[in-house]
Amino acid sequence: MQEITLNCGFGKIKGLCWGQGNKTKILALHGWLDNAASFYHLAPKLAAIGYEVIAIDFAGHGHSDHRAEGHFTHFIDFILDIQDVINELKWQKPILLGHSMGGAMALMYASTCPDKIEKLIIIENIGPVPPYEKGSAASNLKQALNQWKNHTTEHKNYYPNIEKALEARQKVTPMEPETLKPMVERGLKKTEKGYHWRTDKRLRLRSLFRFTEEMVQDLLLADKPKTLLILAYPYTYALSYPTVEERIKKLNPQQYSKLKGHHHLHMDKAQQVFDILAPFILEKNDE
């Protein structure tokens, strides 16, 4: 595993690389408030079968730069970062592997540029959520304006050590501490007051804009590379909306697998996820 730094339009994107120099490339995209180390358990397995895997920290996550002061943190902007990263790496047709929010970004980029992506793997996501609901435009915007007006980037909560931060994260991401620890460690910054999360606090604010369900399903219907969808069952909180089955039908992945577990399948079920996706990525597209 090696640390990498890439120069993108907004600043520096940091990340982790496994299997550097291997011929076939995989760009791994993490979920909201996670970071590149969420692939700490899965990526080495992919590197061992001949893939170079680069997992980036999205802007405002992990060790990457935050957006400039006074700027917004629209999730749609992460697609620009994906484009910048692929261009900076000079990769030709990599595989996109995305978990949760990273899965949504991978789907949206691959639907826009299907000729630039070899295959698409989505874990625990079927497009942006929650979608805009008719009749809520004014109230959504008002709530967002109020949050942005009153927000601060000042850190107020500190942990005396990594273990206490790990315990706090386990409450919202239940899994064994040794599985979760690499991602927690990468997400922390040590100061004289203790440890605080590196994540840009603006990422927690309500978005000024949301996709409609119609727009999401337009993307799902668009031409895209050969696609693998992996979801946990029973459905987790990440898929707690009424159009899940309709979205799956519209996505129409070439392979759809269900795996009993929690939202972070690629972490606490890394071997099982690898067993599903390895045959998919090794298969030639013309077969």
How is the chain split into domains, by residue range?
Answer: 2-135+209-282
Task: Kindly report whether the peptide bond that precedes residue 234 is cis, defined as omega within 30 degrees of 0.
Answer: yes
Contact present, 1 and 17 (Cβ < 8 Å)? yes
Out of 100, 111, 136, 257, the active site residue is 100
Spans of the chain below 50 pLDDT: 287
* Catalytic residue check, 100: yes
Q: pTM above 0.85?
A: yes
Contact present, 96 and 72 (Cβ < 8 Å)? no
User: How far apart are the C-alpha atoms of 231 and 217, rounded to whole Å?
Assistant: 18
| HSE-up of residue 30 (Cα within 13 Å, Cβ side) | 28
Question: What class has domain 2-135+209-282?
Answer: alpha beta
Q: Which letter does DSSP use for residue 41 in this model?
A: T
User: How far apart are the C-alpha atoms of 178 and 113, rounded to whole Å?
Assistant: 37
